[in-house]
């Protein structure tokens, strides 16, 4: 950042004596500081971009989980609707899901169909 560059530049200027060889040293150090600061800024920008992508991926994953739960809830409802029960469909859903997924299906089922 600019304030970091200014503080380093001020420190360099306070420590430098007069003389052409020290002036070249100062210029080289300033270039190094500027390059390092630019690299830090680039790394920060990359990190921020990656964080944005991670947030978008989490949102997309949550939406996908809700969609799958809604499909499963509708399948359970259809399997239990009418005369008889489609035990194969129920077994497929119940045995093929994790506890977390089943809890999500239960929540969606209750909100869509109002019963258990």
pLDDT in tens, 28-46: 677 777 788 888 888 888 8
What sign does the dihedral 61-67-71-72 (CA atoms) show?
Answer: positive
Please compute the mean of the pLDDT values over residues 90-107 and round it to a whole number. Answer: 94
Q: For residue 36, what pLDDT is reported?
A: 82
CA–CA gap between residue 78 and residue 50 (Å, rounded): 42
pLDDT digits (tens, 9 = 90+) for 34-89: 788 888 888 888 888 888 889 999 999 999 999 999 999 999 999 988 888 889 99
CATH architecture of 2-113: Orthogonal Bundle (1.10)
Identify which has the larger pLDDT, 32 or 21: 32
Asked if 104 and 65 count as a contact pair (C-beta separation under 8 A), the reply is yes
Task: Report the predicted TM-score, pTM, of the whole model to 2 decimal places.
Answer: 0.59
């Amino acid at each position: 950042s600019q304030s970091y560059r200014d503080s380093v530049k001020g420190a360099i200027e306070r420590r430098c004596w007069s003389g052409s060889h020290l002036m070249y040293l100062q210029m080289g150090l300033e270039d190094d500081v500027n390059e390092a600061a630019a690299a830090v800024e680039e790394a920060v920008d990359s990190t921020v971009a990656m964080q944005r992508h991670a947030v978008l991926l989490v949102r997309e994953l949550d939406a996908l989980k809700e969609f799958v739960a809604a499909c499963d809830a509708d399948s359970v409802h259809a399997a239990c609707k009418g005369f008889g029960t489609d035990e194969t469909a129920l077994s497929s859903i119940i045995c093929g899901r994790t506890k977390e997924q089943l809890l999500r299906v239960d929540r969606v089922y209750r909100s869509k169909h109002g019963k258990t």
